[in-house]
Amino acid sequence: MTLLEPQHGPLPHAAPTGASAPFWAGCAEGELRFQRCRDCAAVTFPPVETCRECLSGDLAWEVSSGRGTVYSWTVVHRPATPAFAVPYAPAIVDVAEGFQLLSNLVDVAPEDIRAGLPVAVRFVAVTDSLTLPYFAPEAPEETP
């Protein structure tokens, strides 16, 4: 059984913008950050300048528990560019605080991925300047 691994080395990646810079800084510090509107309390992700619900510009950053479940996924065997090592599993994760995040699953065999699988964030520094939030199956509770 082969477990999926994080990518290594330079990857095609969009530069952080003003809106997303705090998110990427959070990843580098081991925090999964998201925004919540101070006017209507809506959670929003990915990072934006104005609330998607009420258009308020008063958004506050919060730190997620980093826990969630797999909403959907695919397993890639033929990469879009040679920069990506295969196989890898892009996945949409339902994060506990009420937003979805497109990430990649690691430390799980492709055949063991299922909808609803409990996962937790795992930050991986793929280069000196880029830390990505991957998700891995959440360890089962220890029973004493």
Interface pick for Zn ion out of 4, 27, 32, 37 (rule CB under 5 A): 37
Selected range binding Zn ion among 7-15, 33-41, 107-115, 135-143, rule: CB under 5 A: 33-41
Q: How far apart are CA 39 and CA 36, in angstroms?
A: 9
49 binds Zn ion (CB under 5 A): no
Length of the chain: 144
Asked if residue 105 lies in contact with residue 4, where contact means CB atoms within 8 angstroms, the answer is: yes
End-to-end CA separation in angstroms for the chain: 28
Q: Which is nearer to Zn ion, 30 or 46 (CB)?
A: 46
Q: How far apart are CA 99 and CA 97, in angstroms?
A: 6
Question: What's the closest the beta carbon of residue 42 comes to Zn ion, in angstroms?
Answer: 5
Q: Which residues of the shown chain bind Zn ion in the complex (CB under 5 A)?
A: 37, 39-40, 42, 51, 53-54, 56
